[in-house]
Amino acid sequence: MIVAAGGGGDAVAAAMLDAALYGEEGPAVILTYAWDRLLIDPVPGPRGPANFTGLRPFTRSVQTVPADAKPIAPAGSTLPRLAAELPHVLALIDPHHGAEGITRQLEELTEHLAPESIDLLDVGGDILAKGDEPTLRSPLADALTLAACCQVNAPVRLLVAGPGLDGEVPAEDLRDRMGPTVLTLTAEHVEPVSSVLEWHPSEATAMLAAAARGVRGLCEVRDAGLPVPLTDEGPTVHEADLDDALNRNELARAILATETLEEAEQHSREICGYSEIDYERNKASWLGTQPEQKLDPETTLRQLDQFEAEARSRGITHTTFRRITEALRLNGKQRQDLRALLLTSRPEQYQAPLWQIPAEA
């Protein structure tokens, strides 16, 4: 069993990890949030079972997301499509009952499945944060899964893939918080999720896959345009001590006994100074006031030229389709149309699943 610590991107990375470490043993059960950012889901925060139709009971507190499940409008989710393209069982984390609720889910799954191993996987390593890092942006999901995994009555191995690739805690700050390298991902390990990477919006997992395929440089991500180095460390997977991570993570310790998501969110405001769901609420409200930009091919490519020139001046060599979508002020529904336009007009710049900024105009 693999617990995807953050959002949907960690579930894709879990499928890569499963192929790399356990490929001979059949597909793992992946316990994951339905927490897609606003490009996919216009509703702030994570989705729970009540936000879907077609879920299937697995244990008393756990439901699985099959390919024919559907998010209830206006919510959106990548999980049903992910279930259609991966052989894994996707079990839904429900954070609305706090860390105690997730702990209960884990205990039921452990009893039901008797798994040979339980891995808690985080892409980037912000699960190893203290909580006061100025670059930290989304600590709540990781803190909830960390708090729950530390309370379950079963051995759990904490794994960090792609140190620093989430753009939150730099790789150099994580080195003394991680243990040995368990694995270095390669292009072969990416292959089982290659079709998923063609549409999934996760930036951190896209960079993890690109790094495993040998892409190196400086990648710009998110609406804020954060620069993330793609180095030889990018495709590595490290083991970290679970108890050390809990002792370091002030938010995870504070939410151990929470019974609602609102409680956990309030602790985040007090400890980290913000809640990532508040950020999503504010951004969703702002997006609701913006006029929709028309995706005119000629205008879009001209805007892309300007964006690339500015990115090049910052030393950027690659970017994500999410970053381009937001930089050009297009909405999430237009991301795939934008991607299709770019791949048709300038296919030589596609270094799957990233977009390469040309060295010269």
Q: What is the pLDDT of residues 87-106, one digit of tens each?
A: 999 999 999 999 999 999 99
Give the span between the Cα atoms of 244 and 143, in whole angstroms: 13
**Arithmetic mean of pLDDT, 314-331:** 94
Pairwise pLDDT comparison (355 vs 134), residue with the higher score: 355
Using 50, 70 and 90 to split pLDDT, how confident is the model at 202?
A: very high
H or E segment to which residue 187 belongs: helix 187-190
| Confidence (pLDDT) at 204 | 96
pLDDT in tens, 111-162: 999 999 999 999 999 999 999 899 999 999 999 999 999 999 999 999 999 9
Using 50, 70 and 90 to split pLDDT, how confident is the model at 288?
A: confident
| Confidence (pLDDT) at 196 | 97
* 43 touches 75 (CB < 8 A): yes
pLDDT in tens, 7-62: 779 999 999 999 999 987 889 999 999 999 888 999 999 999 999 999 999 999 99
| Confidence (pLDDT) at 50 | 97
| Confidence (pLDDT) at 173 | 95
Farthest CA pair distance, the chain: 59
Which residue stretches of 5-132 are H helix?
Answer: 8-22, 79-85, 98-113
Ramachandran angles phi, psi of 49, nearest 5°: -55, -30
Using 50, 70 and 90 to split pLDDT, how confident is the model at 361?
A: low
| Confidence (pLDDT) at 7 | 79
Which residue stretches of 63-160 are H helix?
Answer: 79-85, 98-113, 140-149
**Arithmetic mean of pLDDT, 339-346:** 97
| Confidence (pLDDT) at 38 | 85
| Confidence (pLDDT) at 267 | 97
CA-based Rg of the chain, rounded to a whole angstrom? 19
Query: What are the residue ranges spanned by the domains of the chain?
Result: 2-254, 297-356
Residue type, 269: R
In order of 8, 32, 224, 264, the CA distances from 88 in angstroms are 14, 12, 33, 29
Give the span between the Cα atoms of 119 and 221, in whole angstroms: 27
Average pLDDT, the chain: 95
Residue 76 has pLDDT above 70, yes or no: yes
**Arithmetic mean of pLDDT, 303-314:** 97
* 321 touches 335 (CB < 8 A): yes
**By percentage, how much of the chain surpasses pLDDT 70?**
100
| Confidence (pLDDT) at 37 | 82
Give the span between the Cα atoms of 221 and 229, in whole angstroms: 11
Q: Which two tokens stand for residue 275?
A: 């809640």
Positive/negative CA dihedral, 319, 119, 46, 142: negative
DSSP 3-state of 142? helix
User: Edge to edge, what strands does the sheet with 350-351 contain?
Assistant: 226-230, 217-221, 318-319, 354-356, 350-351
Residue 291 has pLDDT above 90, yes or no: no
Helices (H), strands (E): how many in the chain? 15, 16
**Arithmetic mean of pLDDT, 322-351:** 93
| Confidence (pLDDT) at 130 | 94
Q: Find the helix packing angle between 276-287 and 140-149, rounded to 10°.
A: 150
